[in-house]
Amino acid sequence: MRISFIGGTGSYMDEFYKELKKLRHEVMVNSCDADCDVIMCENRNQWEMAREFKTLYPKIPLICWNWDWYDFLKVDGKFVGNEMFGFQPVYDEFEKLIKESKEFWSSTKEWGDKSEKDTGVKTSFYFYCFILPLEWKGENNDYEYIVQSSRNAPCKRFEWFEKASEELDIPYKTTHPSTNTRPDYIRTVKNSSFVVLSSREEGVGVTPIEGAYCHKPILLADSVSFKDTWGDTANYYKMDDYEDYKKQMKWLWENYKSKEVQDRAERAYQRVCERYLLEPFAKRISNRLENI
């Protein structure tokens, strides 16, 4: 299959494209011609290129990906972005595209349900996400600190982490792959006692996937998305409830070495291996494409 893939480049996506090529697909990154079998728009921010290609080649089916829907809601028929993002025009245009698409893919059921409510377009396929396992190979240590990590812009709940850690006298670090070098980011996660994610606007959540792959317990909000993704393999706090957040952090700090918590972390690791590594991710995408 010849795929026009509109999306990012860099280590993650470049490795994904290589994996698709191993599965005998031809991938044209951010380009398209009349011989393509499908156009894939991987990110809402790529809507202009997707619109250009779809206009040039209207008979080629379009697939739009929905990694996450963040805190966007429709008010009086218009998208209203949260205070951190000015994406209203992007969402307006992306909505037009997904209504023209052959299929609409979502990372989780929560985001699929939310986007259907806002746009009327049903999710055709849940693709989840992936990490690159080779980056995370090697020794894990426990230096008895906890880590908060995120790939997205901070939300107000991020302030909870430092506040609760200081009130509980728990050593902590914060890290972000955009502000730390990649080796430093990986080392910080691998050497932590457990991983905390204070936001809920990350779809599946790459951060907990990385933590779980390092056999680290993960503490997450009890959002529909996270509970649907992680089930009984994660530790949860009540979303938007600071006192419960602090309570669960304290309990996990006191018990993270226990058999109960470590068994849960092992189940999370197994889930990552079965679903969220590059090879199974690429095979899921490939199988879906071949059956369209």
> Is 106 in the same domain as 18?
yes
- pLDDT tier for residue 178 given thresholds of 50, 70 and 90: low
Whole-number pLDDT of residue 71: 47
**What is residue 170's three-state secondary structure?**
coil
Whole-number pLDDT of residue 246: 96
Query: With pLDDT > 70 as the criterion, what percentage of the chain qualifies?
Result: 86
- pLDDT tier for residue 181 given thresholds of 50, 70 and 90: confident
Whole-number pLDDT of residue 201: 56
> Is 52 in the same domain as 36?
yes
> Is 14 in the same domain as 25?
yes
Q: Is the pLDDT of residue 268 over 60?
A: yes
More confident position, 142 or 276: 276
Whole-number pLDDT of residue 66: 78
Total count of domains within the chain: 2
> Is 125 in the same domain as 162?
no
More confident position, 159 or 212: 212
Question: Which of 32-36, 156-160, 265-269 has the least mean pLDDT?
Answer: 156-160
Whole-number pLDDT of residue 223: 84
> Is 19 in the same domain as 79?
yes
Q: Is the pLDDT of residue 287 over 60?
A: yes
More confident position, 115 or 242: 242
Q: Per residue in 51-89, pLDDT tens?
A: 999 999 999 999 998 776 554 555 666 655 544 444 556
Whole-number pLDDT of residue 60: 97
CATH assignment at residue 30: 3.40.50.2000
The answer to whether the beta carbons of residues 62 and 50 sit under 8 Å apart is: yes
Average pLDDT value over all residues in the chain: 85
> Is 209 in the same domain as 168?
yes
More confident position, 61 or 91: 61
Whole-number pLDDT of residue 270: 95
- The C-alpha atoms of residue 96 and residue 246 are separated, in whole angstroms, by 42
Burial state string for 61-89 with b = 16 or more CB within 10 A and e = fewer than 16? bbbbbbbbbbebeeeeeebebeeeeebee
Torsion of CA 220, 221, 222, 227, to 10 degrees: -50
> Is 68 in the same domain as 96?
yes
> Is 68 in the same domain as 137?
no
pLDDT, average across residues 33-51 = 91
More confident position, 200 or 251: 251
- The C-alpha atoms of residue 166 and residue 251 are separated, in whole angstroms, by 15
> Is 271 in the same domain as 192?
yes
Helix segments in the chain, DSSP class H: 11-22, 47-56, 88-100, 109-119, 158-168, 182-190, 206-213, 224-230, 242-255, 259-275, 278-290
> Is 118 in the same domain as 144?
no
Whole-number pLDDT of residue 55: 95
Q: For residue 139, what are the domain limits?
A: 133-275
Q: What is the pTM of this model?
A: 0.79
> Is 105 in the same domain as 188?
no
More confident position, 158 or 30: 30
Q: Is the pLDDT of residue 98 over 50?
A: yes
More confident position, 160 or 176: 160
> Is 220 in the same domain as 282?
no
Whole-number pLDDT of residue 170: 96
Strands 73-75, 194-196: pairing kind:
unpaired
Q: Is the pLDDT of residue 234 over 80?
A: yes
Q: Is the pLDDT of residue 277 over 80?
A: yes
More confident position, 20 or 136: 20
